[in-house]
């Protein structure tokens, strides 16, 4: 297993709930990412943080709110989600990320949080 | 913008046999990297192999090798001596220059005993 952990592994929430996903990396990396993985669709990059600064927001709805208090931790705050937001949410980290979310450093992924919105 | 296409949604192979997964990509970048990631069922995605576009030599990692055809923008993955543990979703990805890491839709590989 890689040094990227995510909690919870499974989450079921109603459309009016507020919940948070947590990601932690133990690799000493400076860049962290949130991806959405839906069935039969390519992984979609959502957010990129580099040295705690958000460098990419890939037109993500405001009901998803990221937070990066330090280079090791990344959160995704969820509120008033829709059923179509049900997916596997993956966190990743890499040594660095250039501006715009681009980096040719290898990204290391966490196990993901399986989110179901009822 | 980059695009990555995996034309095989599913593939199967007999244990100990060889299988090739296809990937084509398109990019306007002159310097880029290509990746194959493996995502086993209910387990996290891990890097299988990485290729720098400026290197002509195909990357290899033990039983995994790539056939990188730069002019054709093709980047296939060959798995030799397939094992049951190779069963997974395999994602091809491309990244370069100012572009983000872009993934294909994936190929589900089944290994039959």
Q: Does A1 touch chain B (CB under 8 A)?
A: yes
Residues of chain B with pLDDT under 70: 97-98
Q: Give the pLDDT band (50/70/90) at residue A103.
A: low
Nearest by CB: B98 against A90, A102, A109: A102
Residue B27 Cα distances to A35, B23, B44, B80, angstroms: 21, 13, 27, 29
B43 to A111: CB separation less than 8 angstroms, yes or no: yes
pLDDT of residue B43: 82
B105 to A41: CB separation less than 8 angstroms, yes or no: yes
For B9, the closest chain A residue by CA position comes to A40
Q: Which two tokens stand for residue A25?
A: 């990396």
Q: Which two tokens stand for residue B41?
A: 């069922």
Question: Percent of chain A at pLDDT above 70?
Answer: 92
| CB-defined contacts A:B, below 8 A | 52
Distance CA A4, CA B32 (A): 25
B43 to A4: CB separation less than 8 angstroms, yes or no: no
Residue B53 DSSP label = T
Are B64 and B79 in contact, with CB atoms under 8 Å apart? yes
- Lowest mean pLDDT of A18-27, A103-112, B15-24, B30-39, name the range: A103-112
Residue B55 Cα distances to A21, A106, A118, B36, B50, angstroms: 39, 17, 48, 16, 11
Q: Give the pLDDT band (50/70/90) at residue A51.
A: confident
Q: Give the pLDDT band (50/70/90) at residue A28.
A: very high
- With a cut of 80, say whether residue A36 has pLDDT above it: yes
Which chain B residues touch A98 with a CB distance below 8 Å?
98
pLDDT of residue B104: 95
- With a cut of 80, say whether residue A79 has pLDDT above it: yes
Which chain B residues touch A102 with a CB distance below 8 Å?
95-100
pLDDT of residue A101: 52
pLDDT of residue B98: 65
> Closest Cα partner for B43 from A107, A86, A3, A110?
A110
């Amino acid at each position: 297993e890689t040094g990227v952990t995510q909690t919870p592994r499974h989450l079921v929430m109603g459309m009016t709930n507020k919940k948070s996903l947590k990601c932690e990396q133990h690799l000493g990396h400076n860049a962290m990412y949130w991806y959405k993985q839906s069935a039969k669709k390519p992984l979609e990059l959502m957010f990129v943080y580099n040295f705690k600064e958000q460098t990419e927001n890939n037109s993500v709805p405001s009901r998803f709110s990221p937070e990066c208090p330090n280079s090791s931790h990344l959160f995704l705050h969820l509120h008033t989600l829709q059923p179509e937001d049900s997916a596997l949410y993956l966190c990743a980290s890499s040594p660095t990320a250039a501006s715009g979310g681009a980096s040719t450093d290898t990204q290391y992924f966490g196990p993901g949080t399986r989110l179901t919105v009822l | 913008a980059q695009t990555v296409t995996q034309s095989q949604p599913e593939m199967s192979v007999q244990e100990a046999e060889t299988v090739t997964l296809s990937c084509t990509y398109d990019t306007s970048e002159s310097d880029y990297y290509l990746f194959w990631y493996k995502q086993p069922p209910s387990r996290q995605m891990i890097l299988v192999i990485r290729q720098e576009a400026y290197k002509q030599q195909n990357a290899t990692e033990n039983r995994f090798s790539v056939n990188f055809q730069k002019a054709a923008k093709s980047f296939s993955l060959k798995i030799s001596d397939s094992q049951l543990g190779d069963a997974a979703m395999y994602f091809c990805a491309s990244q370069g220059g100012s572009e983000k890491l872009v993934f294909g839709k994936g190929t589900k590989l089944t290994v039959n005993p």
